[in-house]
Chains A and B, each alone.
Chain A
Amino acid sequence: MQYLLCGVGGQGTISLSKVLLEIGRRSGRRVIGSEIHGMAKRGGSVSVHVKIGDYYSPLIGKGMADVVIGLDDKEAFLSLSFLKDGGCVITNNTHLVDWEDPKVLKYLNDRGIKKYMVDAYKICQERCGSIRPFNTLVLGLASFLCPEEVDYSLAREVLQDVLKPKVVDMNLKALEIGYKEIGGDV
């Protein structure tokens, strides 16, 4: 599986990629990734290529990603050239793209792209008491949609191991909401 993760500096895109790589490693697969950041700090584009399975280079080619995971819907939208035809985009909805615009719908339809949007900021604020774990909520949704590659119980285990103890519960809750409720809905 090849995942393209994207977001904006400060959102936790790289942290999310580390969790995803660790899930891959613990499931006994080869993992390799690479990240682009540098010019801009807070507020700049960040993208991470994550490849889990029999891969050797850290790069994803155009039209090759199985899944685009976005923490920002504009970055996710602009990364769709990396997605394979018939692939899926899972993103936090930051409302910067009109996904119902006929031109956008036609593009998605022509390429057979499935989209899964979630208002992760809002849900986390209401349900977890903070927007912070919104990236974990997106991970939960990804775990529902790709159950074999992003195993839910492994995701729980990794989060428990890598996060600071005081934020673990909040993140597990966000993961669960993403997995059971949002996932159950789509």
Chain B
Amino acid sequence: MGVVLLGNEAVARGIVESGCQIATGYPGTPSSEILPAVEEFNRQEGTGLIVRWSVNEKVAFEVAVSAAYTGKRAVAVMKQVGLNVAADPFMSAALTSIEGGFLIVVADDPGPYSSQTKQDTRFFGMFGRVPVLDPTDIPEAKKMVVDGFAISEKFHIPVILRLSLRISHGRQEVEFNEVIRNTRKANFQKDPPRWVCVPRFRRIHEAEIMKKIKDIEAYFEGSEYNFVVEGKSRLGVIAGGLSYSVLKDVLNHHGIDDLHILKISTPYPLPVEKVMRFIEKLDKVLVLEETYPTIEIQIPDRRKVYGRLNGYVSTTEELGISAVEDILGNFLGRQLEREVISVSSVAKEVGVEPRPPVMCPGCPHRASFWNIRKAFPKGIYPSDIGCYGLGLNQKAVDSVICMGGGVTQAGGISLAYEHDGEDVPVIGTIGDSTFFHMGVPGLIDAVANNSRFILVILDNSTTAMTGQQPTPATGYNIQGKAGKVDIVTVVKGCGVEYVKEIDPYDVKGMVALLKDAWEYVKREGKVAVVIAKHPCILLGEEQESIPVMVDEEKCIGCRICIDYFYCPGLVFDTSTGKAKIDPYNCIECGVCRNVCPVGAIVDNPREVE
């Protein structure tokens, strides 16, 4: 009997069943549920895996691949942009003939729904010459974990299992298989020509990797993951991974059964012979794949091929049902998409607006951003990746580029003004987990180069946006108690002289502290760090409950609390033209009392005993 699992849980089950021994990763949507589920199955099955959240993806990758050098089976888990962080070891690892199986599980986000890019990890695999498995559905993803380890060990090469949002956050029935009890011991064989990546060895490895990729291509020619569904017409579709499932639903819905289909779930290296044999007998072939033309670009003769490269598939949307209907309809010369009267125009007419992504009521970040804007209304606010990107709503986030960018962008922007001889307040923000992940080098750089900005570390004691994973400062890791790293000590260790902690709920105190920090920056010509410390509200720690109300007599309807504090607990009543508290959402943090310019948000006496 099967069990309905989240895609990420199914992959985790595959990791445990396949006798993996070391699992590392860094959380990132849509990959975050994998490692906790690995630990859960590990505990249930007593498999003795070591499971760890690493400080970032580069570290996760290097730890796991090095364990594989000793012969252990290891996996590193991350989201697609996490692989950018791990790009350096990734590019090098493919050239090293690893010993134990090494699987890199990477979850793409083709929306994107929760990422800064919609990059295609299959393409990255091609760049790094690392074979890629691209599942069609969740059961296949689970099976590919086991086969991925086998391929890795057969060819002594890392293998990518490329997931995507709809696989990771999909749910489907999977079968549980027996768990392989892997007793393989660590046995690192000293062999510098194999493990040391100096140029003279790399010239040898270059020849080896070319041969390996050719061999793997031949192996994929016979893979059961790629198959042809014969049709009667002269038209065909090559569908990669999940796009095959979407295509199948579209064809079934419209009763189309005459197309030839080639499903490809080993996109790199592409089994070129199989693909060319398929194309040969047809007049036109459409290629459906998400998101780059990875399959397409490897097809040596593309004269009959219609895809992204010749602009035939030009959508920037996710290849969902409607997008595929649209593309396939064009290809077949008939309308497939239904005419649906969209609800959006009626919604606009009756004033029903979609909910924008918003910080939780009581979120300490909201208070921090309010305080930063209050202290420096004309400041420049670079920020970083995490919940605090939502500071955008409060007009207190001016730029976000990548993990760690909150520090270095503050450095670069302040440097540009410094070049003109000007001091403009630049206040970078970064979360605690992100600070550990990639903020530290930027801060050392700022100290070493006398950068003139304020860094606010938003310390909510967790990796919040991805679902409350522990940070190094908590003293816990996924399997329990672990080493503890103190943020203040790290900041001081980077050489920062001005380091102050404050609770951002203390609005007046933090505004004054930020102004003091700026005076220090101007006076000393050095970076200042303010740590805004208050636990994430979702951690559920006890805090004082302060019921509030809006004094309607005093409220002047200026909307400052609505537009700049941006809390779901505060709503604007269009009938009265005044703000009011939404008791369903308000968690009674009391911070908004400090926000109203006329003091109309006050303690609610009825509820104060």
Contact = CB atoms under 8 A, between A and B. Distances in A.
Interface of A: 8, 17-18, 21-22, 25, 30-45, 54-64, 74-75, 77-81, 84-85, 96-98, 101, 103-104, 107, 110-111
B57 interface: no
Contact of B249 (A18, A38, A44, A57): A57
B499 interface: no
A36 B249 CA distance: 20
Contacts of A38: 29-30, 113-114, 465
A43 B249 contact: no
A62 B537 CA distance: 36
Contact of A58 (B170, B248, B339): B170
A80 B2 contact: no
A31 B139 CA distance: 12
Contacts of A36: 113, 169
B252 to A, nearest CB: 7
A62 B357 CA distance: 22
B171 A17 contact: yes
20 contacts: A31-B172, A34-B165, A38-B29, A39-B357, A40-B359, A40-B390, A42-B538, A44-B358, A45-B354, A59-B249, A61-B320, A61-B322, A64-B253, A64-B321, A77-B347, A77-B352, A80-B343, A81-B342, A97-B350, A111-B341
Interface in B378-399: 387, 390
B325 A61 contact: yes
B344 interface: yes
Given A103-B350, A104-B350, A43 B172 contact: no
Contacts of A74: 352, 355
Contacts of B538: 41-42
A44 B357 CA distance: 6
A96 B246 contact: no
Interface centre among B138, B165, B355, B390 (most CB of A within 10 A): B355
Contacts of B138: 32
B173 interface: yes
Contact of A78 (B245, B347, B464): B347
B170 A44 contact: no
A38 B390 CA distance: 12
Interface string B324-351: 0100000000000111111110110110
Given A38-B113, A38-B114, A42-B360, A59 B166 contact: yes
Interface in B162-185: 165-166, 169-173
B221 interface: no
A106 to B, nearest CB: 8
B361 interface: yes
Contacts of B99: none
Closest 6 CB pairs of A and B: A61-B321, A38-B114, A63-B340, A39-B357, A40-B357, A57-B245
A57 B321 CA distance: 9
B360 A57 contact: no
Given A44-B355, A57-B321, A74-B352, 20 more contacts: A31-B171, A33-B170, A34-B166, A35-B169, A36-B113, A39-B357, A45-B354, A45-B357, A56-B249, A57-B166, A57-B249, A58-B172, A59-B249, A62-B337, A77-B343, A78-B343, A78-B347, A81-B340, A81-B343, A107-B343
Nearest to B362: A42
A59 B246 contact: yes
Nearest to A102: B350
Contacts of A35: 169-171
Interface string B357-370: 11111000000000
B407 to A, nearest CB: 23
B568 interface: yes
A21 to B, nearest CB: 5
A61 B249 CA distance: 10
Nearest to B585: A43
Contact of A25 (B166, B173, B337, B338): B173
Contact of A39 (B172, B354, B390): B390
Contact of B346 (A30, A33, A60, A103): A103
Contacts of B217: none
A104 B346 contact: yes
Interface centre among A36, A61, A78 (most CB of B within 10 A): A61
A58 B166 contact: yes
A39 B354 CA distance: 14
Contacts of B464: 41
A36 B343 CA distance: 20
Contacts of B249: 55-57, 59
A18 B537 CA distance: 26
A25 to B, nearest CB: 6
Contacts of A21: 4, 171
Nearest to B6: A35
A98 B342 CA distance: 18
B531 interface: no
B171 A33 contact: yes
Contact of A31 (B173, B342, B347, B349): B173
Interface in B100-122: 113-114
A59 B317 CA distance: 13
A103 to B, nearest CB: 5
Interface string B142-173: 00000000000000000000000110011111
B242 interface: yes
Nearest to A64: B321
Contacts of B242: 57
A144 B356 CA distance: 33
A32 B347 contact: no
B354 A107 contact: no
A8 to B, nearest CB: 7
B113 to A, nearest CB: 6
A45 B352 CA distance: 14
B163 to A, nearest CB: 12
B459 interface: no
B137 interface: yes
B57 to A, nearest CB: 18
Nearest to B169: A35
B166 A18 contact: no
A129 B346 CA distance: 37
Contact of B355 (A8, A54, A103): A8
Interface centre among B170, B337, B343, B465 (most CB of A within 10 A): B343
Contacts of B347: 77-78
Nearest to B466: A38
B341 A107 contact: yes
A55 to B, nearest CB: 6
B322 A62 contact: yes
